[in-house]
Amino acid sequence: MIAAFEARHSTLLIAPTGAGKTLAGFLPSLIALHGEGPERKKAGRDVHTLYISPLKALAVDVARNVITPAEEMNLNLKIETRTGDTPPARRQRQLRTPPDILLTTPEQVALLLSHPSAATFFADLQTIILDELHALVTSKRGDLLALNLARLRTIVPDVVSFGLSATVARPTELQAYLMGQSDPEQKINLARRHFVSESTTPDIKILESSERLPWSGHSSRYAFPEIYRAITDHNLTLVFVNTRSQAEMVFQGLWEANDANLPIALHHGSLAVGQRRKVEAAMVAGKLRGVVCTSTLDLGIDWGDVDLVINVGAPKGASRLAQRIGRANHRFDEPSRALLVPSNRFEVMECRAALDAATAGDQDTQIVRPGGLDVLAQHIIGTACSGPFDTEDLFREVRSALPYSELTRDRFDRIIAFAATGGYALKAYDRFARLRKNEEGLMQLTHSRFAQQYRLNVGTIIEAPMLKVRLGKPKKSGSTAGLRGGRMLGEIEEWFIEQLTPGDTFVFAGRILRYEGMRDTNIFVSRAKAENPSIPSYQGGKFPLSTHLANRVRHMLSDASSWKNLPEQVEEWLQIQQKKSIVPSPQEILIETFPRSAKHYFICYPFEGRLAHQTLGVLLTRRLDRLGARPMGFVANDYAIAIWGLRDMSEMVTTGSIDLDALFEPDMLGDDLDAWLSNSMMMKRTFRNCAVIAGLIERRFPRAEKSGRQVTFSSDLIYDVLREHEPDHILLEAAWADAATGLLDLGRLNDFLTRINGEIRHIALERVSPLAVPVLLEIGRERVPGIDPDDLLRDASNDLIKDAMGRQSST
């Protein structure tokens, strides 16, 4: 690294968690600053090194870790952090007298760059250190950061970037991200690369339970006693789960099993900050034996002496597992110990696949994605805030950022027009323009209030509206009068609370709570005596199965000789499947049809993950409806889709009235998808996020009177109007691109449909097959998203009629 710095080479340092890479990134700067000595102060130098991390907490943590060696080396340096929590006075002071080393987040970099004095502030910048780069670049934050790096390279052309990353599948993508891409026709510019390889192989096991393995579900309840035993046998165990609700459930289960009264804590992103900090401090102090946590503890903060990591549920991706395992034994010379706890039979196979991938050192994190146009719109306003810009120059600069290296001039111009006046075909708003060409031909902000607006709305993280959970019981049930804010327990998603009625009970912050009422952005709860919450939590798993793991699972399934590596129960399950139906080869897709209690079922097993399956489920159901199969509904998990209907689909396939090749024809991603999506809630939500990031709708602030719901409502209206009058508007294009790569997983679905062309294997069965049981058990357990709103209203209305007419009469 030191040599790279001296030779002014940008470098990517790849090292497993715990190898001390963060400090390695700082070392060249410390040495260089040491070399400058007291001269530096006299010359009145500005920021020398900029450190950017995805987490505020990480920036603070790292600052502590760098200050110590700097003091030991007697460097007399000013090392400061700047995050959303930094008081305004200090931020002002930092602008006047910048520190030598500044540790911050991508959003703060964007804010600094939007300042008119940005060019002087960064004029002496030598080094940019990007920590946890693999976690940053896969999101819109990564797009924003890439644009800001490009800006910094314009201000200081010879700045050196150091990327610090965990092991990734394709490091060249990160190497290219660190560099300016001058010309897409040319070869891609790559930073150098430096590997620190894993010196020990992790010691991973899958829980061999003596209990009966569940067919489906995500609770892993069967394994709680065994998880507890593992905690008892270790000093400090991290129990990773995939969602907040799982964390709550596992924590409760462990608490019930906690005969020895071990100190076990809960840590997830929805808990109050104070509570989280307490848990973290207790961990570092060695006061805890176990912590149940979500991905909030995934990233590289050093939290004490963990000697076992338990992953509850399937890890869904090989890279995520590697990250989590890295939390155990944060010392480089000892193997990490991990225990995987599958929560159902399919997950056993998935855990096996993840374990094989970990042993082989395989990774699956994908990086390259075209940069978001909404982020670009935000960046353009930010650039204008720092001063007038030349459109040509900015286009060149934007294209030098890897995510935007293929941006066309046409798109760029449309985004400029969007930032200036909304970019509508009907040029109604020219007189209200935010950006306008000045006499020198440069684009300029028309009013300083737009700069304030920008500063309030900067960033790409659109939080789902959250409500504060407070203890408090009303005098009269159901009324929020007289409720005063009690202790805050944390925050919870608005959508979850929406389905509650006062009196309902649910699990939060490790206890069962009774919902009492809501006022403003607070919900009030009291401790409940109930043993089981009345409102189940619907979020099963958050991350879809990665393509890489899915592939491994498909191969494992088709290869009967590999089943002996699986628990006996699972092996037996697959053997019966082979007897009663078939086990598909890895290239094939299996479709089973069978009758069951007056309904006819159509099951397919694409193994493409829940997101792609939901999209496919909607589209298949629409097509089956057109073919007259009278489908009633569908359910999807990570492995399979089950559709049920009123007509005998076995017969329809046999007689040819359902042509399977035509049913799975990739053209379903055209008009069918369009027709469904345009009106879907999901598309409207995606549009809302784009509209907020792009600056069309203002972000929601705490205490501002505009509630999240009002924003949701009006953005839906805007979406409808825009689609009706200007369906090819750039913001709709941006939302569509987002949905396609994100929630719909269209790329994956398209690959799948192309892959299975001519490889469809249909089996008509008399009854349900063993492989179909898990997905059928999901029916009724999951939230109903795709339903037509009018059906809900009709339903509510019919209830009213029934009430009025008496229950006996039919309607």
Partner 1 sequence: MTAAPQPNDNTEQADVYFNVAEQTFVADVSGALWWPETETLIVADLHLEKGSAYARRGAFLPPYDSRTTLRRLEATMQRRAPKRMILLGDSFHDLDAMHRLPKAEREHVCRLQAQCAWIWITGNHDPAISERLGGDVCEDYAEAGLTLRHEPGPLETTGEIAGHLHPAARIVRHGRSLRRKCFIANDTRVVIPAFGAYTGGLNVCDEAFTKIFLTPGTQNGPRVWMVGENGVYSVAAKDLRGD
101 three-state secondary structure: strand
Nearest to 785 by CA among 670, 603, 618, 638: 618
Q: Does 678 bind partner 1 (CB under 8 A)?
A: no
Binding of partner 1 at residue 803 (CB under 8 A)?
yes
Hey, how many other C-beta atoms are within 10 angstroms of the C-beta on 529? 8
What is the distance, to the nearest Å, from the Cα of residue 795 to the centroid of all Cα atoms in its chain? 34
Could you give the CA distance from residue 497 to residue 500 in angstroms, rounded to a whole number?
Answer: 5
Instruction: For residue 118, give the nearest of 415, 385, 505 by alpha carbon.
Output: 385
How large is the greatest C-alpha to C-alpha distance in the chain, in angstroms?
93
| Torsion of the alpha carbons at 6, 12, 18 and 22, rounded to the nearest 10 | 50
- Name residues contacting partner 1, limited to 623-662 (CB under 8 A): 625, 631-636
Q: How far is the CB of 445 from partner 1 (least distance, A)?
A: 10
Residues 6+ apart with CB under 8 A from 528: 505, 512, 513, 514
From 88-96, 389-397, 594-602, 707-715, span contacting partner 1 (CB under 8 A): 707-715
Among 189, 538, 762, 777, binds partner 1 (CB under 8 A): 538
User: In whole angstroms, how close is the CB of 528 to partner 1 at the nearest point?
Assistant: 20
Task: Tell me the window of 14-22, 246-254, 399-407, 781-789 that interacts with partner 1 (CB under 8 A).
Answer: 781-789
- Nearer to partner 1 by Cβ, of 569 and 710: the residue is 710
Whether residue 1 contacts residue 162, with contact meaning beta carbons closer than 8 Å, is answered with: yes
Q: Looking at 538-611, which runs of residues are DSSP E strands?
A: 589-596, 599-604
Find the shortest distance in angstroms from Cβ 659 to partner 1: 19
Q: Does 733 bind partner 1 (CB under 8 A)?
A: no
Q: Judged by CB under 8 A, does residue 724 bind partner 1?
A: yes
Q: Which amino acid is at 322?
A: A
Does residue 429 belong to the site contacting partner 1 (CB under 8 A)? yes
State yes or no: residue 786 binds partner 1 (CB under 8 A): yes
Which of 426, 529, 808, 811 binds partner 1 (CB under 8 A)? It is 426
Q: Which residues of 549-564 are buried (b: 16+ CB within 10 A; e: fewer)?
A: bbbbbbebbeeeeebe
Least distance in angstroms from the C-beta of 578 to partner 1: 29
Q: Cβ of 790: how many Cβ atoms within 10 Å?
A: 9
Least distance to partner 1, CB of residue 590, Å: 21
726 interacts with partner 1 by CB under 8 A: yes
Q: How far is the CB of 759 from partner 1 (least distance, A)?
A: 25
Closest separation in Å from C-beta 568 to partner 1: 31
> Which of residues 286, 432, 479, 674 is near partner 1 by CB under 8 A?
432
State the residue for tokens 């930073």. 191
Q: Which of residues 400-419 bind partner 1 (CB under 8 A)?
A: 418
User: Which of 3, 7, 273, 428 lies at the binding interface for partner 1 (CB under 8 A)?
Assistant: 428
How would DSSP label each residue in 264-298? EEEE-TTB-HHHHHHHHHHHHTT--SEEEE-GGGT
Which residues within the stretch 37-56 sit at the binding site for partner 1 (CB under 8 A)? none
Residue 293 or 722 having the CB closest to partner 1: 722
Strand (E) or helix (H) holding 794: helix 789-805
Please select the residue that binds partner 1; options are 406, 568, 720, 766, rule is CB under 8 A: 720
Choice from 277, 287, 725, 767 touching partner 1 (CB under 8 A): 725
Shortest gap between Cβ of 210 and partner 1 (angstroms)?
Answer: 32
As given in the structure block, the two tokens for residue 60 are 């603070």
Q: Are 402 and 181 in contact (CB under 8 A)?
A: yes
Interface residue with partner 1 among 530, 662, 784, 805 (CB under 8 A) is 784
Q: Which of 155, 272, 442, 718 touches partner 1 by CB under 8 A?
A: 718
713 interacts with partner 1 by CB under 8 A = yes
Interface with partner 1 in residues 493-532 (CB under 8 A)? 495, 498-499, 501, 518
89 vs 728: CA distance, rounded Å? 45
Nearer to partner 1, 445 or 566 (CB): 445
Interface with partner 1 in residues 450-469 (CB under 8 A): 450, 453
Alpha helices in 422-493, H assignment, sequence order:
448-457
- How many CA atoms within 13 Å lie on the side-chain side of 299? 20
Among 182, 200, 654, 710, binds partner 1 (CB under 8 A): 710
Q: Under rule CB under 8 A, which residues in 579-618 are in contact with partner 1?
A: 610, 614, 617-618
Q: Are 494 and 466 in contact (CB under 8 A)?
A: yes
- Go through the chain and tell me how many residues it has: 811
Applying CB under 8 A, the site for partner 1 has a residue count of 73
Is residue 791 near partner 1 by the rule CB under 8 A?
yes
Cross-strand partners of 338: 204, 309
Q: CB of residue 698 vs partner 1: minimum separation in angstroms?
A: 7
We find the least distance from the C-beta atom of residue 307 to partner 1, in angstroms, to be: 38
Beta bridge partners of 283: none
